Chain A
């Protein structure tokens, strides 16, 4: 690779693989969009699962052994939210992860949780 060509592939140029190449062009996950604060719990993939899993699927799985939100997974892996949603949809469809919609409105309007937040904020 000559010097001029190499300059195209530095960190500032961003990822060499475009984000949606990872999802094979899909921009939507099956089974409806995942809320940002849906809680994901991942399983341990078998050898057979590893045949089809992309490295990004594995990175996500490794980070959701404990219940984790969709938005935290996106932040931890530095993958765009849309990509994370598609990949988590794959994992859910294959039974490798459970996704629990938190009914965010449930928390947004849940007096107990809001009061808990208020008490904690007062004590910070």
Chain B
């Protein structure tokens, strides 16, 4: 053979888990990803909407037509070659079809809520409930937003009792790490193995 293939040792193979960050526009997703992780550029394709195709697409051309969009993407490198990848999902619902590839295999998800715009979370909550992705709701406590207790947020969002709700400050690293811990604990619990 004309080349050498490096065969990694079993230990050298990185192990990766994915956490999705969802929430309405302006809820603080970009801030949260940046606070928790080493932020990295990532571009992906956004295909045209069905509406756009109907207007200007001859049939058979649509797979070629895409524009690239930047995503919030971050990586937390943990010891033992374990990586935690954080993906911010697009705020606008019309981009959600892009998530399907991203959401596959995700360990868990964070729905970031702003108490001034709680209904913005409904779409993300429905999405994760339908897919069976374990998720936690993190209420980003903006300085000028009304404060509500966990119980009131749970009622307002119609959440199951098992879904964790955490009050957080997306600008604080300690706070965001608590949110990540809550999601991973919840994922273990949902999988039936958390004691």
Residues in chain A within 8 A of chain B (CB atoms): 19-20, 25, 27-28, 33, 35-37, 39, 41-46, 48-49, 65-69, 71-72, 74-75, 78-82, 95-96, 98, 100, 102-105, 107-109, 111, 113-118, 120-122, 124
Contacts and interface: CB of A to CB of B under 8 A. Distances in A.
Contacts, number: 142
Contacts of B13: 39, 67, 100
B184 A108 contact: no
Contact of A75 (B73, B83, B104, B181): B73
B82 A111 contact: no
B187 interface: yes
B16 interface: yes
Contacts of B66: 27, 82
Given A67-B12, A120-B79, A108 B5 contact: no
Contacts of B75: 72
A35 B105 contact: yes
Given A43-B4, A108-B106, A121-B184, A80 B177 contact: no
A122 B181 contact: yes
A90 to B, nearest CB: 15
